[in-house]
Amino acid sequence: MCGIAGYIGNRKAAPILIEMLRLLEYRGYDSVGIATMDSRGRIRISKGVGSIDKVLKEKKLDSLPGNIGIGHTRWSTHGIVSEENAHPHTDCTGKIAIVHNGVIQNYFEIKRELLAKGHRFYSETDTEVVAHLIEELLKEGKTILEALRESIKRLQGDFSIVLLASPERRLYFMKKGLLPLIIGKGKGEAFVASDVIALAPYTKRVLYLEDGSYGYVSRDEIKVENVYGKPLPKRKNISIDASRIDKGGFAHRMHKEIYDIPHFASLFVSYAEHHIKGAIELLETYDKIRIIGAGSSYHASLYGEMVLSRIYKNKHIKAIVASEFPNRIDLVEDDLVIAVSQSGETYDVLEPVRRLKENGVPVLAIVNRRNSELDRIATERVYIEAGVERAVAATKTFVNQVLAFAALGGLESLNEVPKAFDKILKERRNRSGLGSEKLDEAALRIAKSLYDKPSAFYLGRYLGYVAAKEGALKIKEVSYIHAESYPSGELKHGPLALISKDFPVILISYSEKHVRKDRSTYEEVISRGANAYVITFDSLVENFEGASYISLPDVDENVSTAILVVPLFLIAYHAAVLRGYDPDKPRNLAKSVTVE
């Protein structure tokens, strides 16, 4: 959450910072701002509320002079969304400008002290406190590096900060805790960012800073010290395929990323052939396995619980929402914990993982982003190989998380999946009951019939319920339609009361074992006036004669969840667009939830 960027070199800083911020915008889009230092050492700031394009137009961000600067795109924590609260923030003298990702937990206490010493504050943010604290430490006679060192000690919480300190022509930084901060070095120039994506167009080798790091970069020097005495980490290569970051001709990233599913699914299947032996061995060693994840990654965890329990019949496997994990006391020392996170940055996942590791509990990560904090601290890892995902809503990464669990279960049917994706997204006109529609057209048809309704139900049994949960989350998240998921059998225990004329119900039916009951659920809802749509497979579709359905090519039911979610993603996407929303930037949300 929150994107931070810094540039120093021979080129004009502002346009480069804007390009870096564009790549970071998925981490927050409440407000945006830039600070640069001109040739006379004066700091100039421009910022405003809204997207980069909007603020760029209104405030001419790119006209700020100088070849050194910092930028920020905000997801608000402390303080409302306003221009005053937009970063960068400054001290009383205007000589220090700061951008920040994370939370300063003891900011209020420090603010009180600084107010008593006469500092004046202009925002409600925790960030501004840091600028004034450094000002105060400099006043006491400390050097900037000493002030940064002292600040890391005094400030509580997890944070990454980049700052300008006039008239020094350096980008200063400090990092405490789990939030990423990465330095990239070019010839006569340097870059700092909170996500390696923003560095990918400029440099190939980067330095991931460790917890407790502080220092500066100038045009030709990198200086890093560490409060805890950690050695300087080695530089690493960036593994991002920059050509797949853009929208590739689609109107929205979410839509493009759904169409990227076949490519990345087959990438993962090839990877899994050779690279997950260590993870399987680890899994086989433990009898009790806990799986933690948040949001879509929790849904993938639930799939993992269900499918691995079928395969490893003697193991006790349980999926737990990551933020609830610390409240559970049923964890004993001889457990294995599987942590699932696309970003590898989610605080709710990292926090327990950090503690588990301290207590010697092994952690197997299922992660997309290499070199993320989770990747680095895990005992063993499976990379889901889903490429960069920039739409806020997880789509292709959820699919590959599911495939990762299928691979850990040794499911041979994993190999069928890429072909099935090719069929539904590349070739096939589906059997939707209306003849020759493509899957996307069928999803659009369903979206058209529900986008103006306030609520919807998503129903399914067992692995179908996981798909239902994921479908309901997706439509809530991007189209703001209130959607609830239930195990189909639960409907009659209360929720059925909500069904009335035209109430949309999406019913997942994926297994011969459940199909008779699924048909009964279908009858129960349509007899009460609901508009029901069935998502099913070719071999089951005859059970839904007369229904409006989407039928998918048959796959082994153990891997069906990966296929079932594709039409659900498309329905959510189209519903958002029909309602006039940008599915790539859902309100109040951001990708990589790095706060508690």
Residues in contact with ligand F6R by CB under 6 A are 294-297, 341-343, 346, 349, 393-394, 473-474, 477, 592-593
Beta carbon of residue 179, minimum distance to ligand F6R (angstroms, whole number):
13
Measured CA angle at 596 (ends 216, 485), to 5 deg = 135
Strand partners, 97: 90, 164
From the CB of 375, what's the least distance to ligand F6R, in Å? 12
Of 16 and 568, which has the nearer Cβ to ligand F6R? Answer: 568
Structural contact between residues 402 and 558, judged by C-beta atoms closer than 8 angstroms: no
As measured in angstroms, the least distance from the Cβ of 477 to ligand F6R is: 5
Three-state secondary-structure class, residue 73: strand
| Nearest residue to the partner ligand F6R, using Cβ | 295
CA–CA gap between residue 118 and residue 259 (Å, rounded): 57
Q: Which residues of 148-183 are buried (b: 16+ CB within 10 A; e: fewer)?
A: bbbbbeebebbbbbbbbbbeebbbbbbbbbbbbbbb
C-alpha distances in Å from residue 476, one per residue of 259, 266, 473, 583? 21, 29, 5, 11
Distance CA 87, CA 92 (A): 15
Compute the distance between CA of residue 222 and CA of residue 316 in angstroms, rounded to an integer: 49
Residues paired with 32 in a beta bridge: 48, 73
With CA atoms as reference, report the closest residue to 23 among 7, 42, 39, 43.
Answer: 7
Mind telling me the catalytic residues?
2, 591
Closer to ligand F6R by Cβ: residue 537 or 573: 573
What is the closest distance, in whole angstroms, from the C-beta atom of residue 393 to ligand F6R in the complex? 4
* Nearer to ligand F6R among residue 13 and residue 394 (C-beta): 394
Distance CA 174, CA 178 (A): 12
Q: Are the beta carbons of 136 and 111 closer than 8 angstroms?
A: no
Give per-residue burial for 382-407: e unless 16+ CB within 10 Å, then b. bbbbbbbbbbbbbbbbbbbbbbbbbb
Question: What is the maximal distance between C-alpha atoms in the chain?
Answer: 81
- Render 488-503 in DSSP notation, one character per residue: GGGGGGTGGGG--TT-
Whole-angstrom Cα distance, residue 319 to residue 304? 8
In angstroms, what is the minimal distance from the CB of 557 to ligand F6R?
24
- What are φ and ψ of residue 418, in 5° steps? -55, -40
Determine the 3-state secondary structure of 471 from DSSP: helix
The half-sphere exposure of 210 on its side-chain side, counting CA atoms within 13 A, is 14
